Amino acid sequence: MSDRALVVVRAGALTTVQDRGRPGYAHLGVARSGALDPGAAGLVNRLAGNGPDAAVLETTLDGCALRPRSAVTVAVAGAPCPVSVDGRPAAWGAPVAVPAGALLEVGAAVAGVRAYVAVSGGVGVAPVLGSRSTDLLSGLGPAPLAAGTVLPLGVPAGPPARVDGVPQPRPPAELVLRVTPGPRADWFTAGALRDLATRAYRVSSASNRIGLRTEGPALERARSGELPSEGMVLGAVQVPPDGRPVVFLADHPTTGGYPVIAVVRAADLAAAAQAVPGTPVRFVPVRRR
C-alpha cells in the first residue's frame, strides 16, 4: 500500500491547514476559523478532484515546499505565485501531477497574501470539533507547519478537473468593505462616523488571521469607559483605544469589550484576505437588508 503523506521541506512564514471551519461553537468561545479566502480554497479542491470539505494548506506571502511520499495531484491558486516540480515550472490555477518523492515548490506571492494548496485526497489530520482548521487564537487544530512535519493524506475522491486553467480575481488594488453601522455606533461622534465613511485608511502590516488592522485617522468616541464583554461576529469592525478600526477575520475572539462601530458584509471578507499591507481601504456604509 502506498504511503499517502506529505513531508514539509520548507514551511514558509505561516502555513496552516484549513477547511471550511467549525461553525456553531461561538457559545463555547470557539470561532469559526477556516480558510480566509474560501473561494480560492474551494477552487483548488475542485481542481484537485476533492470534495468541498477537504482540508487544504493556506500559505502566507512566501509559500512553502512539499514532498509527497506517493504520486499526487496538486492545485495552487489564491495569491498568484510561481509553482515548480523538481525545479521545472508548473501551472498555477490548474491540476498538476507530482510524482512520489518530487519536490513541489510554491513560491512567494507576486500579488496578494495567501495562496492555497490542495492535494488529491485532502490533508488528513485529525479533526477537532468537526474541522481540521488551525485556529491561531484558540490553538485548536494542528500547529502551523514546520520543516519536517509529515501530513497524512486522505483517499482521493475523484479525478482532477479537466481544465487547462481557470480565471481568478486578482488581489484588490483598493479594498472596498461594505459595512452596516452598529451595534455600538452610538459610542462614537458624528465626526467619527463621517470619517469612517469618507477618510482614507490602509491595511496595516500588523494584520493577521485574527483581524485586519488599519492605519488612518483615529475615530473619536462620544462616550468614555469600556463596555462589558459582549459577543463578536465575523466582520465586526472593532475600535480599540487607539481609534484605528480592526476588521475581525476567521480566527477572531468570540467576545470583546471594545465597541463595534459597524459590521462588514461577509461577501467582502475574502478580498481582505488578499490585501497586502499598504492597500487603501474604503468603508462604505450600506443599509441593513
Report the DSSP beta bridge partners of residue 68: 6
How far apart, in whole angstroms, are the C-alpha atoms of residue 47 and residue 91? 12
The whole-angstrom separation of Cα 64 and Cα 45 is 18
Q: Cα separation of 241 and 207, whole Å?
A: 17
* Whether 165 contacts 91, CB under 8 Å: yes
3-class DSSP assignment, residue 56: strand
Are 34 and 22 contacting, i.e. CB atoms less than 8 angstroms apart? yes
pLDDT of residue 170: 79
Which is it for strands 246-248 and 236-238: parallel, antiparallel or unpaired?
A: antiparallel
Residues of the chain with pLDDT under 50: 1
Burial class (CB in 10 A: 0-12, 13-18, 19+), 242: exposed
Cell of 118: 490542495
Q: Give the model confidence (pLDDT) of 223-255 as tens digits.
A: 988 899 999 999 999 999 999 999 999 999 999
**Which residue has cell 502566507?**
60
Structure confidence at residue 166 (pLDDT)? 72
CA angle 173, 279, 273 (to 5 degrees): 85
- What does the pLDDT read at residue 1? 41
As given in the structure block, the three cell numbers for residue 287 are 443599509
The pLDDT, as a whole number, for residue 172 is 87
Q: What is the distance in angstroms between the CA of the first residue and the CA of the last residue of the chain?
A: 54
The tens digit of pLDDT for each residue in 34-80 reads 999 999 999 999 999 999 999 999 999 999 999 999 999 999 999 99
Which are the contacts of 139, defined by CB distance < 8 A and separation ≥ 6? none
pLDDT at 82: 98
Q: Amino acid letter at 98?
A: V
Question: pTM of the prediction?
Answer: 0.95
Please name every residue paired with 123 in a beta bridge, in sequence order, or none if there are none: 153
The strand pairing partners of 164, in sequence order, are: none
**DSSP states along 189-251:** -HHHHHHHHHS-EEE-TT--SSEEEEESPPPPBSS-S-PPPEE--TTEEE--TT---EEE-TT
**Starting from the edge strand earliest in sequence, which strands make up the sheet with 72-78, in order?**
16-18, 56-58, 115-119, 72-78, 96-98
The Cα–Cα gap between 169 and 192 comes to 33
What pLDDT was estimated at residue 165? Answer: 66
Q: What is the pLDDT of residue 115?
A: 97
Q: At residue 271, what is the residue type?
A: A
- Please give the domain boundaries of the chain with CATH numbers for all domains: 5-152 (no CATH), 175-285 (2.40.100.10)
The C-alpha atoms of residue 119 and residue 233 are separated, in whole angstroms, by 31
